[in-house]
Structure 1
Amino acid sequence: MGKRFYISISVAVTCLVVATGVLAIIIALSVMYAHERSKNLQSLPTSAERSSTSTASTTPSSPKGPWEYYRLPQTLSPVHYNITLWPRLKPNADDLYIFTGNSRVAFRCVSQTDLILIHSNKLNLSMFDGFHAKLKGLAGAAAPTLKKTWLEVPTQYLVVHLNDPLQPGSVYELYTEFVGELLDDLGGFYRSEYFEDGIKKVVATTQMQPTDARKAFPCFDEPAMKAVFHMTLIHPQGTVALSNAMNYDPVNITVNGESLIQTSFEPTEIMSTYLLAFVVCDFAYIGTNPDADVLIRIWARRKATEEGQGKYALETTGHILGFYKNYYNSSYPLKKSDQIALSDFSAGAMENWGLITYRETALLYNPGVSSNGDKEWVAIVISHELAHMWFGNLVTMRWWNDLWLNEGFATYVSYLGADYAEPSWNMKDLIVLNEITDVMAMDASAHSHPLSTKEEEILKPEQINQLFDTITYSKGAAILRMLSDFITETVFSKGLHTYLEEFKYNTTSYKDLWKHLQMAVDKAGISLPHSVEVIMNRWILQMGFPVVTIDTQTGKITQKHFLLDPESVVDRPSEFNYEWFVPVTWIKTGGSEQHQSTTYWLLNKEDTNTELVLGDAEWLVANINMMGFYRVNYDEGNWERLIAKLSSSHQDIPVINRAQIIDDAFSLAKANIANTTLALRTTTFLNKEVEYMPWQTARKNLNYFFHMFGCSEVYGPMKAYIRKQVTPLFLYYKDLTLNWTKMPDKHTDQYNQINAISLACSTGVEGCRELASGWFKEWMNNPAVNNINANLKSTVYCNAIAAGGDEEWDFVWKMYKNATIASEADKLMHALSCTKEPWLLNRYLQYCLDPEKIRKQDVSFTFIYIAQNPIGQPLAWDFIRSNWDYIFNEYGRGSISFGSIIYGLTERFSSEFDYKQLKLFKEEVGARLDSAAAIIEHVLERTKANMNWVALNKKPLSDWLISQTSKIL
């Protein structure tokens, strides 16, 4: 059992008496709910309905009332909440899962007002003498009487209009009672379901970020409206209740003959509503010693816990918490860190303070079954969420326009924490592949967006939701990594310490962070061309990034806003005219000597630096280890020297820069800045390369060629060229693993082994398909024993399904439905999309609309997996369009990401027909695009760029490939 906190018998009795009264109200509310659900829970009252209280009045149409604005007025400030909730884990007579509850929120009046605006969404509020709430004064304050109350649907408010104004400095308490539905929509207070030993089990859990706390109880649901929360949960016998703070001793209670448990929790630290969490389940846990400074517990389904799937998370959490304590020079702020793996969860994880919620794949790891990649994902996600315990939770962004400050920071330092926990993995390098190169492709669009915008540009919940994208997370991480590099990691860490100390339990904006980093820079005596704020504002207040072009003959260096589509029009203005202050570094070699530069600042659109002239040096490569967020182009002579060096002695160039040369060249070719043949020539050395980063970068970029030409006559030469390049790698790993009987020791070698087999099988390297099919057949013949290497399962499963028919597909489907390890289920789910049979893909698409077959949290991934299959892409696109209304209505409440689906389904679009189909789709769905509205503009731009690129490059690409492969065709 975990550590408990005990209270006196008198306090326990008092709690029981109060609970009995509360329960009587809750029971009455639950009875009422069945009759009210058929109505719109938040239907907008007419003027007459709004006037049905003590004083007749109408709502003026102009000017707007405060309730018509999406931001709360700054007239009230919450102090603390007392919330009691009772989720039902069994359906009622109407087959509905509900929760009932009440809330008392104490708030201070900041400036005189006769209005209380508090968020409430999809809650059926009880009425008291014709009003939706009760109000009383605290600490001697007299509460005004209520004039009228109503629910304002568009802005999601409970509006309380008073007869007299509240007085500044006085504290009041608003009391509400409510009923809500415990839906499976993965937002607010929702339910998750799973089967264990053939028994269906229900979990009541939460996901409040960004604006769904208001679906669980009325609250001031903005990040700056921090308060203390006192939680009480009523739940069935045999279950446990968890929340942000440690629980008091549970109390057994009886209501109408039903034996229940009431669990109350210590008050939380002062925090934002979106970080509140509570769970009712019958999970088990493993944990640290209850007497430890910080109690760590890993919660999961009982069978998962018994199988030891939480052990790695427990071990890693301890290491990473220790790292952050030193990194921030600040102790962990809470007594405990509960982490819980949920069967249904929309995000990867959520940093609720003291109760972090995860997808099972992000927290659970089973050695021998889970892969190396699964293990890395667990470490990275845990590290990301624990980083938030200080940066985001202790100190919080003031408003969602600075979301990048939370998420970009946590993404960057998650690699530092994971590197500390697993020092042999080289995680500080892998951030380049995992975050930076991918986000550069997104940010090179004319429809990208700045990291930080003005508050007034982000108001509605759907606008807030759109910010949870790769720009916010990955670009935010990239520019903070760049900043940490040019001021040094030590100085960066010291600035964070003073920042956290000054603003703990408060909210900030990015300017506060710049101020503290500047203080650390000044103290360290580091010289910069401008202040941290002036430099960094160029990177966060305008979208995009530059391509830096270096002429090694003259030393001329220029910068220009890099766009993948050179014909696109940038209509978003920038006060900086799309110029950046760019920290440029480079390596120059001549003979056996290698010279590494200090940072040179490119402060204008062009400059000349004689140090960039090659002279007697052989070659120059800029942006050492890709620490800067920019692309690099060179004069033709230096490109030729780099390609020659890669062909003769590629190890002389650092491994990250070998990957960077490939990525920059391909990106420049897509933007028509460099020749496509130049980009392809940067891959000719790969038949001698065995490192993961260059191979993975090449694979990602060559995949674009397959998307563009996969159904054309260019496909054959492309396949032959990759087969030629990957064959030595395939044979290298065959020898390294003693004919595939052991696993490579090095973390990145385990990844590159996957590349070797995957590319070899897909391009027809002799012996590869037989190897994969043989492993798979052994498993089919004995389903109880799966001897396929965990790292190779995804590749083997996919190749076997692609080569097989319905027998193989049905076998994998059965294994998927019976899988008890989430990471294994994910691999099987992906493999099902690899079939070449259209009818099986269509059946799989139909399964996506049945939550009993494909969980709502997995629908986005499944659609995208199917679209990655050349045969499945048109099927998935037609299916989505045909079923858009149904999908939007059933899944459009946070269950899936419409933006990621549209982005994934249209990656192959490269024709005029595709472009017209996209425009037609945009017109048809209109407002029902939800969070995909911004993505579809990017996709239209990408499609137009693809059309132009294919027209220009098809012939030269084909000619070059044929010249490289003519001897082997």
Structure 2
Amino acid sequence: MGKGLYITKGVAVACAVLAIGAVATIIALSVAYSKEKPGSEAASTASPVGTSTPSTPKEPWQRFRLPDTLAPLWYNATLRPRLEPNAEGLYIFTGHSLVVFKCVRATDLILIHSNKLNLTTFQGFHVKLKGLDGGPAPSLRKTWLEVPTQYLVVRLNSFLAAGSAYELYTEFVGELSDELGGFYRSEYIEDGVKRVVATTQMESTDARKAFPCFDEPAMKAVFHMTLIHPQGTVALSNSMDLDAVNISIDGQNLIRTRFEPTERMSTYLLAFVVSEFTYAGKTQGADDVSIRIWARKTAIEEGQGDYALQKTGPILAFFEGYYNSTYPLSKSDQIALPDFAAGAMENWGLITYRETNLLYNPEVSSNADKEKVATTISHELAHMWFGNLVTMKWWNDLWLNEGFASYVSYLGANYAQPTWNMLDLIVLNEIIGVMAVDALASSHPLSSKEEDIMKPEHIMELFDSITYSKGAAVLRMLSEFITETIFSQGLHTYLEEFKYNNTVYKDLWKHLQMAVDKGGIPLPDSVEAIMNRWILQMGFPLITVDTKTGKITQKHFLLDPKSVVDRPSEFNYEWIVPITWVNTRASIQQYWLVGKEATNKDIVLNADEWLVANIDMKGFYRVNYDSDNWERLLAKLSSKHVDIPVINRAQIIDDAFNLAKANIVNTTLALRTTKFLSKEIEYVPWETATRNLGYFYLMFDRSEVYGPMQAYIRKLVGPLFDYFRTLTVNWTTIPTGHTDQYNQVNAISLACKTGVEGCKDLTTGLFKNWMQNPAKNTISPNLRSTVYCNAIAGGGVKEWDFAWSMYKNAAVASEANKLMAALSCTTQPWLLNRYLDYCLDPEKIRKQDAASTIAYIASNPIGQSLAWDFVRARWSHIFHDYGGGSFSFDRLIKVVTRRFSTEFEYNQLLRFKEDHPGQFGSSTMALEQALEKTKANMDWVTNNKDLVLEWFTSEASSPV
């Protein structure tokens, strides 16, 4: 699944102020829903879900995991969504389903998941049970819905026979709500008419909201789906439709679409959509795989699906070659939904996306929008094998799915767009950011113990940057030290052995070891022994290289050296580390550090030599050096920075700033790593520096440090602004290089932020021209985010209202996103407060965008305190009305609190936690991390404010 809350690259670098069945049944359903809003069943990790479940469950239906007594074989489900509200104003769906299951061990109990479904009763029971193959079925004793654990419980008067098969039948009514989970509705306006889409999002535990099912990833089965839907709509599901026939029910003319049986698959990968959409399509490969891009009719007619259609085939072909495995299905449907909580979802054969992650319009969409489409498609297609064909046994190994797809998505995108430097961009997009999270004492291992991940909110907590980005980083590191070829060969045999089944991480290590042995790759220990240290304990090492003695050491790197790590590790926070380096006289060298320390004389330098370790940041660790080597690296950056590889120039900056936060090196050393930027034109070092200096803005933009800091950064960015003004012939052309286009945005954003002459006139002039002719927006799509933001920041209500009008009328989702973010850039508090109120009105801001919009506002120095007050005052409403389908509350907590650096703010955060016990769900861990970060910020500001003020003051007045 693609990630949730997206603050896109274009916005991140551009927005200057952001810095860096029957009437009775239906009525009963309505009453039940008024009592059970999304999130009401959620609790903190420290307390049980629901009040009727004891902390130590005694009965099977009080436990959150299914017993191993039954195994589903296949389902036959028919669903009929209503795309218009009933007399009570509810959108509903009705349905019936049967599941054929095998009894593995004799039992007198059937547990099957069911959540927020009102089940029809048959002679007092919720189900009909039938024995197959001529065998009898036990009579029913009692059935009920166990709400806390989301079970339909069936007690029997005698035992099911081990080895026998049975059929369980249910009928039900559910609400087609707007909660973005399970079977839900999405709405949009087209040709002035409101249209409704019935669609799905099942991951992780929401298939049970569509029909009763064994809703765990290891409970794979075949699904026979039928959808009954209105005339004029089309129905899609995981497999191809078998037939679509006209039928009549209660005088209504409808369509019944039946689908081919699916492959054996997990419930969370189910998908079905009923809509008025159309598609652009073609066939691909020797097996004539049908590729279709579905979206709103106007979007397809405008060609917004063409880029996705153009790139899906090549990426699909790349993965067939990479896995050495044919695409297992006959079709690949991809559909862009107006309302979707995640970035995308890898449903087998019917991938669902946010519109911004699938649709692209070259006249409106930016370079970053295009990259997001390519990488998201690549991520989801990677899952068709890794995750769908072979699936993790339980959610504790979610990283196996998502970390892997995050890593290889860059390989697929690089194949589709070979000039984009995607293999470099993974460092910025995944690795640098997650290292800051994994350096906290409140981080967590990639792979948790199965017994620690039980409740739905525990599962949702795992959808975080550790799972996605650290997972990608350590798999990239593994692929590097065993070679990409060997890595690919191991994946092939892994997929072949376990296709249509489930695995644990050790199964992958086994197959990679087989490939390593066959390829003769020398390693200091087994793949399992090496990699378990990276996935079973949180964090990563700081490698210290002493170029005077040759000594190399490791220790667990913590951003706050005073924090206490209370999570035990069987490896004592020690790693087996693949260390690479280059120096003045040698090409890339590799050395394995096994143990706390070792000595390697090859790293001893002469007085005029320098060394840089962790080439291209392929290893997931930070590097510190002896003071002499730091000085040589700074001298080299000053004299001829291009001698150091571009990724390592960024790494030197990022390592230095983070080491300074941890009080390992002096903060002035970190600041000195930025001085060469006045001569740097490459994006990756500039972006890394911008993010790190962004921390200084967060800590000091309300203090006297702000002025000298602005002056220093203005001095650095001035030459870059001039470079791009010349390169683009006074902003009239677009740079050729992919990352050059990004760095042009960086140059303008930082120049306007720091007051470089000519920048404000550029942005306000472009925006004023648009206001004078709203029908003709001549601003380059790449520059729109930064132009909009700066013009709104420098303007007033007239500019804000114009942008709001353009946002509400935007026909392309990526354009709407840029405006949505830019509206938060205003410096008028009353406008920001009005905008915050809009966030909780779905008619103004879609539910999928509410959390990200609040986060945008919180990124504005003026908006931060307003957003924090808003979140505190409205938390219960936000959590209950928006929590059910949102994957982004953890990120919301992080963004709203990231400026916190005082004891007063720390106490406010503690009070917030105390005021809402059990109301944080999947953001519980994020709250703990925010408390830890605030403490670290307090200490850092106390220790560094005077030093930083003096340094910026001195450097701002010195010559370049």
TM over 0.5: yes
Deviates more, 1:288-297 or 1:811-820: 288-297
Deviates more, 1:493-502 or 1:252-261: 252-261
1:60 positional shift = 12
Q: Which residue of 2 aligns with 1:244?
A: 238
Measure, in 2, the Cα distance between the counterparts of 1:61 and 1:721: 57
1:616 positional shift = 6.0
Q: Is the 8 A contact 1:405 1:476 kept in 2?
A: yes
Q: Which residue of 2 aligns with 1:26?
A: none
1:518 positional shift = 0.1
Q: Which residue of 1 aligns with 2:117?
A: 123
Q: Which residue of 2 aligns with 1:162?
A: 156
Measure, in 2, the Cα distance between the counterparts of 1:187 and 1:744: 42
1:369-418 deviations in whole A, cap 9, x for unaligned?
Answer: 10000000000000000000000000000000000000000000000000
Q: Is the 8 A contact 1:478 1:629 kept in 2?
A: yes
Letter in 2 for 1:39: V
Letter in 2 for 1:510: Y
1:168 positional shift = 0.8
Letter in 1 for 2:365: S
Letter in 1 for 2:587: H
1:210 positional shift = 0.2
1:193 corresponds to 2:184? no
- Please list every run of at least 4 consecutive aligned residues from structure 1 whose deviation after the TM superposition is greater than 3 angstroms: 41-44, 58-63, 289-292
Q: 1:860 to 1:504 in 2, by over 3 A?
A: same
Which consecutive residues of structure 1, in runs of 5 or more, have no partner in the other structure? 1-28, 45-57
Q: Is the 8 A contact 2:382 2:405 kept in 1?
A: yes
1:90 corresponds to 2:84? yes
Q: Is the 8 A contact 1:806 1:840 kept in 2?
A: yes
1:816 positional shift = 0.2
- Relative contact order (C-alpha < 8 Å, sep 6+): which is higher? 2
1:10-51 deviations in whole A, cap 9, x for unaligned?
Answer: xxxxxxxxxxxxxxxxxxx1434323124326999xxxxxxx
Q: Is the 8 A contact 2:460 2:887 kept in 1?
A: no
What SS class does the counterpart of residue 71 from structure 1 fall into?
coil
1:615 positional shift = 2.7
Q: CA RMSD in A?
A: 1.5
Measure, in 2, the Cα distance between the counterparts of 1:503 and 1:967: 64
1:676 corresponds to 2:671? no
Q: Is the 8 A contact 2:481 2:578 kept in 1?
A: yes
Q: Is the 8 A contact 1:445 1:565 kept in 2?
A: yes
Letter in 2 for 1:960: W
Match of 1:698 among 689, 714, 717: 689
Letter in 2 for 1:141: G
1:63 positional shift = 7.3
Measure, in 1, the Cα distance between the counterparts of 2:958 and 2:765: 31
What SS class does the counterpart of residue 194 from structure 1 fall into?
strand
1:541 corresponds to 2:552? no
1:276 corresponds to 2:267? no
Match of 1:434 among 429, 434, 443: 429
Measure, in 2, the Cα distance between the counterparts of 1:60 and 1:861: 36
Q: 1:663 to 1:698 in 2, by over 3 A?
A: same
Measure, in 2, the Cα distance between the counterparts of 1:60 and 1:609: 57
Q: Is the 8 A contact 1:42 1:153 kept in 2?
A: no
Q: Which residue of 2 aligns with 1:566?
A: 561
Q: Which residue of 1 aligns with 2:29?
A: 37
1:331 corresponds to 2:326? yes
Q: After the TM superposition, which residues 479-490 of structure 1 pair with which residues of structure 2 at under 5 Å, given as runs? A: 479-490=474-485
1:131 positional shift = 0.4
Letter in 2 for 1:795: T
Q: Is the 8 A contact 1:361 1:823 kept in 2?
A: yes
Match of 2:579 among 576, 584, 592: 584
1:534-583 deviations in whole A, cap 9, x for unaligned?
Answer: 00000000000000001100001110100000000000000000000000
Q: After the TM superposition, which residues 518-529 of structure 1 pair with which residues of structure 2 at under 5 Å, given as runs? A: 518-529=513-524
Which consecutive residues of structure 2, in runs of 5 or more, have no partner in the other structure? 1-20, 37-51
What SS class does the counterpart of residue 953 from structure 1 fall into?
helix
Measure, in 1, the Cα distance between the counterparts of 2:321 and 2:161: 45
What SS class does the counterpart of residue 794 from structure 1 fall into?
helix
Q: After the TM superposition, which residues 94-109 of structure 1 pair with which residues of structure 2 at under 5 Å, given as runs? A: 94-109=88-103
Measure, in 2, the Cα distance between the counterparts of 1:835 and 1:387: 40
Q: Which residue of 2 aligns with 1:70?
A: 64
What SS class does the counterpart of residue 861 from structure 1 fall into?
helix
Q: Which residue of 2 aligns with 1:600?
A: 591
Match of 1:909 among 895, 900, 903: 900
Measure, in 2, the Cα distance between the counterparts of 1:682 and 1:41: 57
Q: After the TM superposition, which residues 264-303 of structure 1 pair with which residues of structure 2 at under 5 Å, given as runs? A: 264-289=258-283, 293-303=288-298
Measure, in 2, the Cα distance between the counterparts of 1:249 and 1:508: 35
Match of 2:142 among 137, 140, 148: 148
1:305 corresponds to 2:300? yes
Q: Is the 8 A contact 1:132 1:149 kept in 2?
A: yes
Q: Which residue of 1 aligns with 2:942?
A: 951
1:353-384 deviations in whole A, cap 9, x for unaligned?
Answer: 00000000000000121000000000000000
Q: 1:616 to 1:672 in 2, by over 3 A?
A: closer
Q: Is the 8 A contact 2:293 2:308 kept in 1?
A: yes
Q: 1:548 to 1:968 in 2, by over 3 A?
A: closer
What SS class does the counterpart of residue 136 from structure 2 fall into?
coil
Q: 1:61 to 1:222 in 2, by over 3 A?
A: closer
Q: Is the 8 A contact 1:812 1:832 kept in 2?
A: yes
1:897 positional shift = 2.3
Q: Which residue of 2 aligns with 1:965?
A: 956
Q: 1:65 to 1:750 in 2, by over 3 A?
A: same
Q: Which residue of 2 aligns with 1:113?
A: 107
What SS class does the counterpart of residue 386 from structure 2 fall into?
coil
Q: Which residue of 1 aligns with 2:220?
A: 226
Q: Is the 8 A contact 1:42 1:152 kept in 2?
A: no
Q: Which residue of 1 aligns with 2:606?
A: 615
What SS class does the counterpart of residue 927 from structure 1 fall into?
coil
Measure, in 2, the Cα distance between the counterparts of 1:36 and 1:767: 64
1:121 positional shift = 0.3
1:647 corresponds to 2:638? yes
Q: Is the 8 A contact 1:234 1:261 kept in 2?
A: yes
Measure, in 2, the Cα distance between the counterparts of 1:307 and 1:889: 38
1:256 positional shift = 1.7
1:216-266 deviations in whole A, cap 9, x for unaligned?
Answer: 000000000000000000000000000000001200001121100000000
Q: How many residues align?
A: 924
1:968 positional shift = 8.0
Measure, in 2, the Cα distance between the counterparts of 1:481 and 1:401: 20
Measure, in 1, the Cα distance between the counterparts of 2:289 and 2:734: 36
TM-score calculated relative to the size of structure 2: 0.95
Q: Which residue of 2 aligns with 1:452?
A: 447
Q: After the TM superposition, which residues 839-878 of structure 1 pair with which residues of structure 2 at under 5 Å, given as runs? A: 839-878=830-869
Q: Which residue of 2 aligns with 1:805?
A: 796
Measure, in 2, the Cα distance between the counterparts of 1:777 and 1:78: 63
Match of 1:926 among 907, 912, 917: 917
Letter in 2 for 1:900: R
Letter in 2 for 1:830: A
1:561-620 deviations in whole A, cap 9, x for unaligned?
Answer: 000000000000000000000000000104xxx4321x2111111111111111366100
Match of 1:467 among 456, 462, 471: 462
Measure, in 2, the Cα distance between the counterparts of 1:189 and 1:825: 26
Q: Is the 8 A contact 1:203 1:280 kept in 2?
A: yes
Letter in 2 for 1:679: A
Match of 1:769 among 747, 760, 779: 760
